[in-house]
Structure 1
Amino acid sequence: MARHVIVVGAGPAGLAAAAAALRAGARVTLLDSAEQPGGQYHRMLPDAFAAERPGRLHHGWHDFDRTRRHVLGHPRCDWWAESSVWSLERPEPGDPRPPRVHVLRGPADGSRRERRVLDPDALVLAPGAHDRVLPFPGWDLPGVFTAGAAQALAKGERLVVGDQVIVAGAGPFLLPVAASLLEAGSSVLEVLEANPAATVLRGWAGRPWELASHGGKATELAGYTGLLARHRVPYRMGRAVIEARGDGRVEEAVTARLRADWSVVPGTERTVPVDAICVSHGFSPQLELPVAAGCELSLAGCGPACGRTTSHAPRSGSAACGVACGGTTPHAPRSGSAAFVRVDDDQLTTSPGVYAAGEITGIGGAPAARIEGLLAGWCAAGGAPGAPEIERLRRRRDQARAFARRLATAHPIGAAWTSWLRPETVVCRCEETTYGAFCRAADDRASGSAHAVKLGTRAGLGPCQARVCGPTTAELLARRGITADPHHRPVAQPIRLGELARPPREEESTP
């Protein structure tokens, strides 16, 4: 009987994992909450648009389209669109089987979603990442978008978020977002990279020979910079949006020059009339499912007390390093550091039968995610681990990981970003929790824990369930010596009580 591999997420990593598992002879169930595969990177137009050039805003569209058609048309692949994994049920300790997968099938706003339970032989997790946006005064005004949301609307609906737009934050993702907005018809006034030129150049210039294997990235960068030049869009380093202003919606952006630690240089503030601001300060991996599966996490980029720059496991249930890295007391990670899923050379996690690929193992971009997906899918399906093409994939994967480390070094989050905040600045948009209220609760020694601060301020308890504010509030707590785990979520996706009450449909065995 062919092994049954379930792949969660149909972005670059998940689609590649499905293709590799099919090639290795497995039966594959590919799940995604969207109507079409592709993830954020290849967000597709609805079929009803009947677009003549569906790949116009996409990089590498033809390779993606070929893989998509192959996977979805394969007789051993079941494609489950609009399907969300809301829970993973771990087996008893010592049981080598992967978790049972609890799925809701149907539109998220539908009233008759179907509950399904799947028992895989192997599970590949490739859920991707969220935009991370640091709070600043006015970021909760209508018209302030995450860069990923703005790009999704441009790619998936051909909608523009505004006519006069600023794209700001940190990292090379700002460039394709600006390109998508320009191609969709927006006027991009400027692109602002918060890190000064010296920081960015130092990160990219070290060990330059390692860049020889990433020629495609240089070509992609040249394409984006050429497009910005043709539209006369300035790209400014060491500058950020530190405030949004408006009556009922955003009307002005206040930008300022930043030092290397992201503190504001006094007297450099500038007010720009806008009708939209698109902001991204990197990405936060979606770790709810790996944590639910019992996967061990690694903490990337701990503070100076750690003495190490490589990833290592934090203590169980803690976002700080503690004694695992040789320190004697827990300490806060560097600003902007993130936890990722720990994997071995085959992309296998510490949970039996569970593989991970893509942004949840490290933010390296779509090419790195595809390579990891190919390895994870092949190994999950029981493919020969020593095949020559697999060894080549491992070498390419290691090169991609080196690129990801370089990316994190060139575009870090400065520790002084909190200097932008005021007591009335909202840090949790769902519950309208202000920075002042959050700090007062965190500094109250009577609270004593992240859980008490959460209950006292409601931060992270709103509809997004801390997906937006979780990394920010965890960092603010860590600076006060309070550890928090923003990824522990027994119910990974919203489920209605009526849906929970209905009995699930069990998987039927297929030879």
Structure 2
Amino acid sequence: MPDSASEPYDLAVIGAGCAGLAGAVTASELGLRVCLLDGSGQVGGQFFRHPAPALGALRPQALHHDWPAFAALRQRLEASDTRRLLGHQVWTVTRGSGELWTVHALSGVDGGAERPVRVHARAVLLATGAYERQLPFPGWTLPGVVAAGGAQAMLKSGLALPGKRIVVAGSGPLLLAVASSLAAAGAQVPAIVEASGYLRYVTHARALVANPRKVLQGAVHGASLLRHRVRPHSRSAVTAAHGTDRVEAVTVSRLDQDWRPVPGTGRRISCDALAVGHGLVPQIELATGLGCATRRTPDGTHALVLDGRQETSVPGVWAAGETGGVGGWELARVEGELAGRAVAFRLRGVLVDPARVRELRRRRDRMRAFADAMAVAHAPRPGWTHWLDDDTDVCRCEEVTARRVREAAAELGARDARTVKLLTRAGMGWCQGRMCAAAVACLAAGGGDEGVPPSPERRPLAVPVPLGLLGSPAGADEAGADEAGINEAGADE
């Protein structure tokens, strides 16, 4: 590790999920000085969330079917010299003096006193993961309606369920894992509602054959659902949630090819919770703030453009995992190792095993092809806007209804999400459009295929930052100076 505050790290890794862990331990084992930052107090990311020790869980591995792989990564991390700054929320990355990168973070985001921290490094690896895409519908703001991944996170990290009778709905393979884990934990799951159909995978037979493990995982989840008598509803969607103080029932409707509800097919299913999500969106705000190039993915989101070594269009900035396109934890681990090896070769000239690199690239390309097949199969279709009535909140933060968005498009000439934002404040709230950008863009375009979020804007702040900290005279602590890795603010200024 660095001996003084003036000596930078070789690599700063942002994100301690599978991609970040693999990249950090690989680079450290190859002789690099590495600092790993994550906003959570534990490593593992979203997929390998696990209960805090205070909860006294006896078998946390029971909540994960791939726990040994994570345990091996964590053991390698603990055996390495990697500096771990957990509970540190990174809000921006800047180019510092002498071709160094400066990572700006806030410590204490989990409830302690927030303090600014800076980490200097010669290279940066972005492994920031993804967040869930939500498509609004009447009643989606009722208590008891949660994100699909959020329901799984409650179970994994808090050993809690969002309800006793939980409908799982949306689109994408995550629904299978969520429904099976909730059922195994004791919840009654009366239905799993999938807007797409799994028959679309047949058109990508080569990707299926090349990834038998993925097919097996799907079969295992399917068998679990059958065992727990969870009823599947394909080519259907929850088009309304009902209740007063809490969700009490949902309406499930059949969908046509464009995801428009088929008249007369709605039926009610009673429940006290709804877990819903329509796939994942790469979290790339830090990267776009640096000017990294993006590409549109097959399901209409935006991911980073990466070369064969996982480097972005900005030299010295690498990325791995969902930032380059959603593909699951195994793909993230492979890409993290590839990035770690590439950085070691670039910075230190470390000779890496060519055979190992070739094998990693083959595995990456194979799994990336399967990820693209999933994206095509579950991509939202424009007819979903027919679920909405005029009083449905599209932007929850600013309480902007579908009527106001439609009026901005029809009467004021708005044709994209940015113009609607200026006219209605949709997307100006706490989440900064993460929850509503896709919905606003589709409504502004009249529901056409062009109604997808525009290329992400460059923003100086990736997450909300207290104004007082930005203007503090000390500026920031220096990470890596002493045994704890952090000095008091302004001590060495």
TM-score by length of 1: 0.87
Q: Identify the match of residue 108 of structure 2 among 106, 109, 123.
A: 106
1:376 aligns with 2:373: no
Residue identity in the other structure for 1:351: V
Q: Structure 2 stretches of 5 or more lacking a match?
A: 3-7, 483-493
Over 3 Å counting, the alpha-carbon distance change for 1:467 and 1:449 in structure 2 is closer
Judged with a 3 Å threshold, the aligned counterparts in structure 2 of structure 1 residues 23 and 450 are, in CA distance, closer, same or farther, namely same
Superposition deviation, residue 445 in structure 1: 4.1
For 2:95, the equivalent position in structure 1 comes to 90
Cα distance between partner residues in 2 of 1:137 and 1:52: 40
Q: Deviations over 1:335-374 (max 9, x none)?
A: x511110000000000110001111111111111111111
Q: 1:23: how far off?
A: 2.3
Give the counterpart letter for 2:92 in structure 1. S
Does residue 442 in structure 1 map to residue 416 in structure 2?
Answer: no
Tell me which amino acid in the other structure corresponds to 2:109.
Answer: P
Q: Does 1:493 align with 2:490?
A: no
User: How many angstroms apart in 2 are the aligned matches of 1:505 and 1:398?
Assistant: 41
Kept in 2: contact 1:477–1:484 (CA 8 A): no
- Partners of 2:267 and 2:89 lie apart in 1 by 44
**1: CA distance, partners of 2:413 / 2:188:** 51
Q: Is the 8 A contact 1:295 1:341 kept in 2?
A: yes
Question: Paired residue for 2:488?
Answer: none
Letter in 1 for 2:105: V
1:193-246 CA deviation, whole Å, 9 max, x = no partner?
A: 1114xxx31x32235243333222222222211211111111221111010011
| Secondary structure of 1:206's aligned partner | helix
In the alignment, which of 444, 451, 471 is matched to residue 438 of structure 2?
471
| 1:107 shift after superposition | 2.7
Question: 1:295-336: CA deviations, max 9, x gaps?
Answer: 1001224xxxxxxxxxxxxxxxxxxxxxxxxxxxxxxxxxx5
User: How does 1:103-502 map onto structure 2 within 5 Å?
Assistant: 103-110=105-112, 112-196=113-197, 200-201=198-199, 203-301=200-298, 336-382=299-345, 383-384=350-351, 387-445=354-412, 450-478=417-445, 484-502=454-472
The match for 1:22 is 28
**Does the Cα contact within 8 Å between 1:470 and 1:486 map onto a contact in 2?**
no
C-alpha deviations, 1:102-121, integer Å up to 9, x for none? 011113443x2221112211
Cα deviation for residue 452 of structure 1 reads 4.5
Give 1:372's aligned amino acid.
E
Q: Which runs of 5+ in 1 are unaligned?
A: 302-335
Residues in 2 aligned to 1:43 and 1:395: alpha-carbon distance in whole angstroms: 28
Q: Is the 2:290–2:458 Cα contact (8 Å) retained in structure 1?
A: no
**In 1, Cα distance between the equivalents of 2:231 and 2:413?**
50
Q: How many equivalent pairs are there? A: 468
Residue 40 of structure 1 corresponds to 46
Alignment-derived partner of residue 86 in structure 2: 81
Any idea what SS the aligned residue of 1:119 has? strand
Deviations, residues 93-137 of structure 1 (Å, cap 9, x unaligned): xx8x36421011113443x22211122111000111111110111
**Does structure 2 retain, via aligned residues, the 8 Å contact 1:130–1:283?**
yes
Deviation at 1:247, TM superposition (A): 0.8
Letter in 1 for 2:443: L
Q: TM-score, normalised by structure 2?
A: 0.90
User: Equivalents in 2 of 1:145, 1:78: separation in Å?
Assistant: 35
State the Cα distance separating 1:472 from its structure 2 match. 2.2
What is the RMSD of the two structures over their aligned residues, measured on CA atoms?
2.3
Quickly say closer, same or farther: Cα 1:449–1:50, change in 2 above 3 A. Answer: closer
Q: Which amino acid aligns with 1:460?
A: G
Inter-partner Cα distance in structure 1 for 2:416 and 2:233 = 41
Judge conservation of contact 1:72–1:78 (CA < 8 Å) in 2: no
| 1:187 to 1:23, Cα distance in 2 relative to 1, 3 A | same
DSSP 3-state at the match of 1:188:
coil
Aligned match of 2:489: none
Distance 1:135 1:62, change over 3 A: same
One-letter identity of the residue aligned with 2:94: E
CA distance in structure 2 between the aligned counterparts of 1:489 and 1:407, rounded to whole angstroms: 30
Letter in 1 for 2:122: D
Distance 1:436 1:485, change over 3 A: farther
Q: Is the 8 A contact 1:262 1:416 kept in 2?
A: yes
Structure 2 letter corresponding to 1:82: G
Give 1:304's aligned residue. none
Question: 1:507 Cα deviation (Å)?
Answer: 4.0
